[in-house]
Amino acid sequence: MSIEIGVTKKEINTQYAPLAVLLAHYQTNYTLEPLEKVQIAMKKREFSPDDKLKQVLVSILAGCETISEVNTKLDAEIHLATVGGWSRFTDQSNLSRMLDGLTLKQIDEIRHAVTSIWRINSKTCQHDWRSYLWLDFDLSGLPCSPMAEESQKGYFSDKKTFRGAN
């Protein structure tokens, strides 16, 4: 399945288009499959426990700082929910009840599932450690050469470096 982004004549509006593409990528590559293996005993009415775990993850990626923000930020996002395979997002109270009912064993299972997800997708874990891993970061406000690869002028809010300071 290829993911296409473009203009449509239909009236579809979502402020989370990049998140929808990421979620579609996760769906096609079965990235979130380890979350389905977490055993949470509860009745499945409309959403299974792994659907709720995935919705918690989507809410985090959507910028929800607390579970209570799910109702205000994601309730109207029907199209984003459709990409995830749901008819809508569940209510924040259902997510809270599920999270509150987790046992220590289930939390440990979730921890292992999330660890396996990031290990598979981590570039650092796939690095050939026989050579160096170069980390390049510059916290100074000094201008870089316009000839530098991918160079951009940065923004530093407080401290300014004056000419001749070095």
Give the 3-state secondary structure of residue 56: helix
- Does 30 have pLDDT greater than 80? yes
- Judged by average pLDDT, the poorest of 32-36, 54-58, 89-93, 162-166 is 162-166
Quick one: pLDDT at residue 107? 93
Position 150 confidence tier, pLDDT thresholds 50, 70, 90 = low
Tokens of 155: 């923004």
- Judged by average pLDDT, the poorest of 38-52, 96-110, 133-147 is 133-147
Strands (E), 1-70: none
Enumerate residues 6+ apart whose C-beta is below 8 A from 60: none
Enumerate residues 6+ apart whose C-beta is below 8 A from 112: 34
Quick one: pLDDT at residue 17? 84
Summarize pLDDT for 101-132 with one digit per residue, the tens: 999 999 999 999 999 998 888 877 777 878 88
- Does 61 have pLDDT greater than 70? yes
Model pTM? Answer: 0.69
The residue-averaged pLDDT of 32-38 equals 90
Quick one: pLDDT at residue 103? 92
- Does 60 have pLDDT greater than 90? yes
Tokens of 146: 């316009």
Which span out of 15-19, 28-32, 44-48, 134-138 was modeled with the highest average pLDDT? 28-32
The residue-averaged pLDDT of 44-63 equals 90
Domain residue extents for the chain? 17-121
